[in-house]
Amino acid sequence: MQREWDPRMPVPAGVGIDRRRFISAALGGLAIVYGAERAGLTDQMLGDGVAQAAALHGAHDRILVSLFLQGGIDSLSLLAPAGDPLYTKLRPTLAVAPGSGVQFREDPSLTWHPMAASLAELHNAGKVLVFPGIGYAGEDMSHFTSRHYWEVGATDASLTTGWLGRYLDIVGNPHNPLQGLSLDGQMNPTLATTRQPVAAIDQPNNFAVWINGLWGDSAQWALQSASTLGDAQRHAADPAIQQVAAAASEVGIVRRTLKPWAGKSSASKPGSNPGAAYHAKVAYPASSSDDLPARLAGLAAMIDRGVPLHCVALSTGVQFDTHSGQAGTFNSGVKLVADSLAAFQADLEARGIDQRVLVHVWSEFGRRAQENGSDGTDHGAAGMSLLIGSRVRGGMIGEFPALNRLDANGNQRVNVDFRGVYASLLEQWFNHEAAAIIPGAGRFHRYRLLA
Amino acid sequence: MSTLPPSPSTVYTGPFGEAQATRLLWRAGFGPRPGDAERLARLGLDAAVSSLTRPAEPAQLLDRPPHDDKGHPLDPLNVWGQDHCWWLDRMVRSTHQLVERMTLVWHSWFATSEEASNARLMINQNWTLRRNALGNFHQLLSDVTIDPAMLLWLNGNTNNRYAPNENYGREMFELFTLGQGRGYDQHDVHQNARALTGWTNDWSDSRGPINFRFDPKLHDDGVKRIFGQTGRFNWKDSVRLAVTHPSHPSFFVGKLWAYFVGAELPARTAHELELAYVRSGFEIRPVVEAILRHPLFYEGPRLVTPPVVWTAGLLRASRQTITTTDWAWIAQLTGQVLFQPPNVAGWNYAQWLDTSRWAGRLQAVNTALARHTLDGKHYPFGIDETASQAYEHALAFWGGQPLSDTAQRHLLKLSRRFARGQHQPWQQVPFRNLRQNALRALVPMTPDWMTA
């Protein structure tokens, strides 16, 4: 099956649907690149792997998007027990005022932060599942350790593969790096695999690869040469050589897949911008400091085009590590995240692909209940996670960790283990046994996540 | 040139040729300029290491000073991105290569971002790190603890007796001196934050944060209990307690080793280096000298060269200096902007490459080649050049560092493809230009050239 192919050629055996028809319908302009180039090169054959993956899975595979809120977001501000005298005492300058935001449907004593209004609205529409007290026992208040635990899906400092990376290692396609796509402009550790290829881009329209001073076919020859050298050395004995070679090898595939969009502008709102790589179906928020809206808009467009994505990971540009002057960073950051997520969901719905996508929002921990005197908060324990999507069973799992039962460090106590949520996601969203992916999966509770 | 004292650990006794010298120049500096590896190899191991760790002359900046795209001198304090270019220039031109490299190590170790301050305070901190680059770690930690950019970055300036802020107190143990969970707990972190109270500053609308100082009125002078010891500790005590904690020497040696060597640190070597470190009173230089002479430095696996080191190496290898400030945004694409580490843990040295950052490095090569793109009517090496001569010319453009057989085979195949592609006489010169442009772009993108 791994041979040169062209959309005009007959469909090879083993591909379940009429590829040409599929490609023209789903991949649209993106398919042209596969047929346009002369082959015989391994990275070209790998490119076929993407096309095959697209043909086999692209249009119906479920996609999980992991969004990391960097720095430990203050869940006690995001969903606040406004009006609780103890809360006001712990948060003299930062407390959310009663009535300033939307009341939380499952627990009327809680109020959504006013800047998270779009999230509250999505929650009331039944498309957000909230975990208000998530974490793990023996909370580690280090950013890096706690984040690492969440990334690898285990409280194990020595694990080097991400939890979604291990899943892809089992179910992934050895020729499709787009199955595990980081949208951070660099590899997201959640997707770190040992065997299967994965890729990192920033936005689909600005993955630019060219060489100055080349024209005609020569640029393609040179770039192909770099990728085939990568193919040849990606299993070299030396791990440093491997790292560079794997990137070079995967660049060839990503380059061809995204070529029709390369160098074009993005349009994060509907309207006629003829030169744009894609048009969002709804307006995303404008932001000069964090391109999260543009990355999510590009993601929706890629899914719509049939790019064979399966697991996607990205991080906010905003840092929620608010040790001082919390209100400024938190308010604008939460508004950007909430509005971007709401726009993404609306975009998916407008494109008719919302049934295929689930967004998991997480942070490494919550913050100390007592504010610290720099108008900020120090590192805490229990925090908040969200699951967003049309297929989600909207509501709440676990409960709000009471402020009169803080732990010895003055932090909120955990009532849902994040590994139980990971295991439930694998089993219910990907229909895959969790035991092979989450260490000790059997020990964790399962939660009903889908409607 | 001073001679080196005996190493506290095993010393490499194999051949010290250009290959070993090249690795040393990439790991203890910013790569060789043409001829550097040969010169260093002639010195032999000890003198080669000593030339880096104990340079005889004061630092000099060689060749032409940096300038922006219009030929104006850099303005690192006031123009976005020019702070990055300013330090990149020192990496390219300084004769004290290891001092600059150690400064980069400390920048990642005590990762501070200008997001919390400004270029002026970051460059002041940079001089503090450079001054202590091969000096004493106790002194370095003292200086960093009260460095204005660090006080702003980890909230030391708002940590006071009324409201202790744990940010610096925690990272000091976790990232700077002891390592996560190695002999301290949350109680120690909190007490450490109390000991560190008292630093503050003023704000000027025109100049930003100014007048950093210790104000005894803001210091909590009560009794603290840290690591089981009790006293009215202040910030100096906090630094002393961290450096003399039993977990510190192994943390220091292990972390420093990993910046230079790809192989695991053997237990015996660790013990030898820790002992030397403690006995010297926390001197950095003897540990670095032992690492640079260790057999595993030369015999262990390769390391991916960090993006900013590789970028400086491109310019050094092709004898160029900073003539554009494009390097600032290119640094973002390659994944390493100076004065903007991703977070307080510094850069992740284990994972420098993926599809996105590989594409960013190709942009860096394009920029390094901007003034060397061939498109004239006369091909400089003559139209009789063979495919393998073209390859040799491209290699020589980057100083002649040899590639592996695999890389050579692929580039020669590409070179021959250009020969096949031409059919008309008018194509001879353009195709040779294209061939040389392609080969020059690909040599530093090979896995060999990106690792050392």
Tally the C-alpha atoms within 13 A of residue B59's C-alpha that lie toward its C-beta.
Answer: 15
Q: Using CB atoms, pick whichever of A143, A247, A379 lies closest to residue B355.
A: A247
- Chain B residue numbers with beta carbons less than 8 Å from the beta carbon of A199 are 354-356
Give the predicted TM-score (pTM) of the model: 0.84
- Chain A residue numbers with beta carbons less than 8 Å from the beta carbon of B154 are 323
- Chain B residue numbers with beta carbons less than 8 Å from the beta carbon of A201 are 355-356
Expressed as residue numbers, the domain containing B199 is 87-299
Average pLDDT over residues B14-33: 98
| A209 in B contact zone (CB under 8 Å) | yes
Show the tokens assigned to B425: 């006489």
Residue B420 has pLDDT above 70, yes or no: yes
Residue A41 has pLDDT above 50, yes or no: no
- Chain A residue numbers with beta carbons less than 8 Å from the beta carbon of B363 are 208
Q: Concatenated DSSP letters for A379-411?
A: B-S-EEEEEESTTB--EESS-PPPGGG--TTS-
| A178 in B contact zone (CB under 8 Å) | no
Rounded distance, CA A184 to CA A295, Å?
9
For residue A312, give the 3-state DSSP assignment: strand
Question: Which tens digit of pLDDT belongs to each residue from A240-256?
Answer: 999 999 999 999 889 88
- B132 and B243 assigned to the same domain: yes
Number of Cβ atoms within 10 Å of the Cβ of B155? 25
Q: Do A236 and B447 touch (CB under 8 A)?
A: yes
Q: Do B356 and A185 touch (CB under 8 A)?
A: yes
Per the listing, tokens 């400004």 go with B118
Residues contacting residue B58 through CB under 8 Å, at least 6 positions apart: none
> What is the DSSP pairing of strand B199-204 with strand B208-214?
antiparallel
Rounded distance, CA A140 to CA B326, Å?
41
- B209 and B314 assigned to the same domain: no
Question: Which tens digit of pLDDT belongs to each residue from A353-383?
Answer: 999 999 999 999 999 999 998 999 999 999 9
Residues contacting residue B307 through CB under 8 Å, at least 6 positions apart: B331, B334, B335, B336, B352, B357, B360, B361, B364
Per-residue confidence (pLDDT) for residue A56, from 0 to 100: 61
Instruction: Report the first-to-last Cα separation within chain B, whole angstroms.
Output: 26
Q: How many DSSP H helices and E strands does chain B contain?
A: 21, 4
- B149 and B176 assigned to the same domain: yes
Rounded distance, CA B151 to CA B149, Å?
6
ipTM score here?
A: 0.96
Q: Using CB atoms, pick whichever of A213, A233, A250 lies closest to residue B373.
A: A213
B-proximal residues of A, 330-369, CB under 8 Å: none
- Chain A residue numbers with beta carbons less than 8 Å from the beta carbon of B201 are none
Rounded distance, CA A93 to CA A326, Å?
10
Reported residue count of chain A is: 451
Pick the CATH number of A63-168+269-443 from 3.40.1000, 3.40.720, 3.40.50, 3.30.70: 3.40.720
B interface test, pick of A155, A241, A315 with most B CB neighbours within 10 Å? A241
Residue B18 has pLDDT above 90, yes or no: yes
How far away is chain A from the Cα of B40, in angstroms, using its nearest Cα?
A: 25
Residue A273's pLDDT band (boundaries 50, 70, 90)?
Answer: confident
Q: Concatenated DSSP letters for B128-176?
A: HHHHTTTSBHHHHHHHHHT-HHHHHHTTGGG-BTTB---HHHHHIIIII
How far away is chain B from the Cα of A44, in angstroms, using its nearest Cα?
A: 16
Residue A4 has pLDDT above 80, yes or no: no
Rounded distance, CA B347 to CA B357, Å?
14
Number of Cβ atoms within 10 Å of the Cβ of A327? 14
Per-residue confidence (pLDDT) for residue A19, from 0 to 100: 29
| A39 in B contact zone (CB under 8 Å) | no
Q: Using CB atoms, pick whichever of A208, A238, A245 lies closest to residue B359.
A: A208
- Chain B residue numbers with beta carbons less than 8 Å from the beta carbon of A247 are 353-355, 357-358
Rounded distance, CA B390 to CA B436, Å?
6
User: Which of B169, B225, B159 lies closest to B198 in space, CA to CA?
Assistant: B159
A interface test, pick of B175, B358, B450 with most A CB neighbours within 10 Å? B358
Per-residue confidence (pLDDT) for residue A60, from 0 to 100: 63
Q: Do B441 and A182 touch (CB under 8 A)?
A: no
What's the sign of the alpha-carbon dihedral B325, B330, B336, B339?
positive
Number of domains in chain B: 2
Q: Concatenated DSSP letters for A64-110?
A: EEEEE-TT---HHHHEE-TT-HHHHHH-TTTPPPTTSSPBPTT-TT-
Rounded distance, CA B28 to CA B259, Å?
10
Residue B341 has pLDDT above 80, yes or no: yes
For residue A446, give the 3-state DSSP assignment: coil
A-to-B residue pairs, Cβ atoms closer than 8 angstroms = 191
How far away is chain A from the Cα of B441, in angstroms, using its nearest Cα?
A: 7
Number of Cβ atoms within 10 Å of the Cβ of B324? 17
Residue A435 has pLDDT above 90, yes or no: yes
Q: Using CB atoms, pick whichever of B159, B345, B448 lies closest to residue A144.
A: B345
B-proximal residues of A, 135-164, CB under 8 Å: 140-145, 157
- Chain B residue numbers with beta carbons less than 8 Å from the beta carbon of A156 are none
* Cα three-residue angle A297-A172-A448, rounded to 5 degrees: 70
Give the single-character DSSP code of A291: -
Give the single-character DSSP code of A375: S
Please indicate, yes or no, if residue B41 is contained in any of the structural domains.
Answer: no
Which residue among B299, B315, B336 closes a domain? Answer: B299
Q: Do B163 and A187 touch (CB under 8 A)?
A: no
How far away is chain B from the Cα of A449, in angstroms, using its nearest Cα?
A: 33
- Chain B residue numbers with beta carbons less than 8 Å from the beta carbon of A324 are 155, 158, 165
B-proximal residues of A, 251-310, CB under 8 Å: 251, 254
- B187 and B114 assigned to the same domain: yes
Task: Count Cβ atoms within 10 A of the Cβ of residue A330 and give its class: 0-12 exposed, 13-18 middle, 19 or more buried.
Answer: buried
Per-residue confidence (pLDDT) for residue B2, from 0 to 100: 60
**Minimum Cα–Cα distance from B354: chain A residue:** A247
- B333 and B223 assigned to the same domain: no
- B153 and B283 assigned to the same domain: yes
Residue A389 has pLDDT above 60, yes or no: yes
Rounded distance, CA B23 to CA B19, Å?
6
User: Which of A90, A102, A89 lies closest to A128 in space, CA to CA?
Assistant: A102
- B263 and B328 assigned to the same domain: no
Alpha-carbon distance values, B206 to A413, B82, B155, B209, B234 (Å): 45, 21, 22, 9, 32
- Chain B residue numbers with beta carbons less than 8 Å from the beta carbon of A178 are none
Number of Cβ atoms within 10 Å of the Cβ of B34? 16
User: Which of B336, B345, B440, B347 lies closest to B397 in space, CA to CA?
Assistant: B440
Task: Count Cβ atoms within 10 A of the Cβ of residue A188 and give its class: 0-12 exposed, 13-18 middle, 19 or more buried.
Answer: buried
Task: Count Cβ atoms within 10 A of the Cβ of residue B73 and give its class: 0-12 exposed, 13-18 middle, 19 or more buried.
Answer: exposed
Average pLDDT over residues A140-163: 89
Please indicate, yes or no, if residue B385 is contained in any of the structural domains.
Answer: yes
Please indicate, yes or no, if residue B62 is contained in any of the structural domains.
Answer: no
How far away is chain B from the Cα of A403, in angstroms, using its nearest Cα?
A: 20
What's the sign of the alpha-carbon dihedral B140, B145, B151, B155?
positive
How far away is chain A from the Cα of B270, in angstroms, using its nearest Cα?
A: 20
What's the sign of the alpha-carbon dihedral B363, B364, B365, B367?
positive
Residues contacting residue B432 through CB under 8 Å, at least 6 positions apart: B374, B379, B381, B383, B385, B390, B418
Contact between B412 and B358 under an 8 Å Cβ cutoff? The reply is: no
Show the tokens assigned to B324: 């554009």
Per-residue confidence (pLDDT) for residue A17, from 0 to 100: 25
Task: For chain B, state the CA radius of gyration.
Answer: 24
Q: Do B357 and A409 touch (CB under 8 A)?
A: no
Residue A47's pLDDT band (boundaries 50, 70, 90)?
Answer: low
Average pLDDT over residues B366-387: 94
- B130 and B203 assigned to the same domain: yes
Residue A106: phi, psi to the nearest 5? -80, -15
Q: Do B438 and A211 touch (CB under 8 A)?
A: yes
Per-residue confidence (pLDDT) for residue A57, from 0 to 100: 57
Q: Do B356 and A228 touch (CB under 8 A)?
A: no
How far away is chain A from the Cα of B361, in angstroms, using its nearest Cα?
A: 10
Residue B283 has pLDDT above 50, yes or no: yes
Question: Which tens digit of pLDDT belongs to each residue from A76-135?
Answer: 999 999 999 999 999 999 999 999 999 999 999 999 999 999 999 999 999 999 999 999
**Minimum Cα–Cα distance from B160: chain A residue:** A373
Which residue among B299, B333, B360 closes a domain? Answer: B299
Which residue among B269, B299, B329 closes a domain? Answer: B299
B interface test, pick of A290, A319, A378, A411 with most B CB neighbours within 10 Å? A378
